[in-house]
Amino acid sequence: MGKLDGKVALVTGSATGIGRATALLFSDEGAKIVIADYAPKEAKETLAMVKDKGNEAIFVEIDVRKSAEVRKMVDTTVDTYGRLDILFNNAGIMGRWIFGGDIDELDLDDIIDTNLKGVFLGSRYAIPVMVKQGGGVILNTASTAGMVSLPGQSIYGASKAGVVMLTRTMALEYADMNIRINCICPGGILTRMSEPDPSGTTPSFRQPQPMRRFGTPEEVARLLLYLASDDASYVNGAAITIDGAWSTGFAKRPPKRPAS
């Protein structure tokens, strides 16, 4: 018996990285999966990986920055599977490594629209469905950068701090409706996002780590499985770090100014 038998889970940003690992683990645990992403090639690979195991999944091509598309993502989930039990708002981008005084306004819009507005929109359309069906679980991906300052990533950090507060506030708003809303704050996870930038302008996130290694998307997926399942039935409004102790103080060092 799987921990998510009979559940329907929608995972944004599941073409690669943490989202893909989560889609695979949730499907192994019995959930029907909706893979939602704006990168169709990799998303279809995730879809094939789920189906190759004999599990059920569909792919919806959507951009989390666009309200109509996010609404379509939720509608398609309900039209296909009849319900939505778990929404994982995970799609995110990091943006260039640049200090606040030099940030282009369009870059700001892109980061905020993807990382913060995208999480809001997913929740906005999923919550009425969950209220109607008598409950559900929402998981959001924040970041350690939303908890400790990361020079060169002020807007990314602000977007993720926003996700933490959106999570905590919405959790309180819907706590009496059997909807649990939690977020994770990863750091130092081996995905495409943490790869060194080939142009060399962005220092790699793959800096020295307290545990002398990086985390894997599969390790993050196991935390998400716990939060999505009934094992976490009283965990609500939490922001849980998964960063090998990086945000405890190890992260604090003098800011390195990007070359201008």
Distance of closest approach, residue 64 Cβ to ligand NAI, in angstroms: 4
Q: Which two tokens stand for residue 169?
A: 């506030």
Burial status of residue 5 (CB atoms within 10 A of its CB: 0-12, 13-18, 19 or more): exposed
- Judged by CB, which is closer to ligand NAI: 2, or 210? 210
Q: Which of residues 46-85 bind ligand NAI (CB under 6 A)?
A: 63-65
Q: Which of 81, 125, 156, 174 is catalytic?
A: 156
DSSP secondary structure letter of residue 115? I
Burial status of residue 134 (CB atoms within 10 A of its CB: 0-12, 13-18, 19 or more): exposed
Pairwise CA distance, residues 201 & 259, whole Å: 8
If binding is defined by CB under 6 A, does position 205 make contact with ligand NAI? Answer: yes
If binding is defined by CB under 6 A, does position 15 make contact with ligand NAI? Answer: yes
253 phi and psi angles, rounded to 5 deg? -155, 165
Count of residues that interact with ligand NAI, criterion CB under 6 A: 29
Distance of closest approach, residue 218 Cβ to ligand NAI, in angstroms: 12
Q: Which two tokens stand for residue 106?
A: 């369009």
Q: Answer yes or no: 156 catalytic.
A: yes
DSSP secondary structure letter of residue 6? T
Residues 177-196, one symbol each (x = binds ligand NAI by CB under 6 A, - = not), give: ---------xxxx-xxxx--
Pairwise CA distance, residues 189 & 37, whole Å: 20
Q: Which of residues 81-110 bind ligand NAI (CB under 6 A)?
A: 90-93
Residues 140-169, one symbol each (x = binds ligand NAI by CB under 6 A, - = not), give: -x-x--------------------------
Instruction: Give the other-Cβ count within 10 Å of 148's Cβ.
Output: 19
Residues contributing to the site for ligand NAI (CB under 6 A): 12-13, 15-19, 37-39, 63-65, 90-93, 114, 141, 143, 186-189, 191-194, 205
Please list the active-site residues.
156
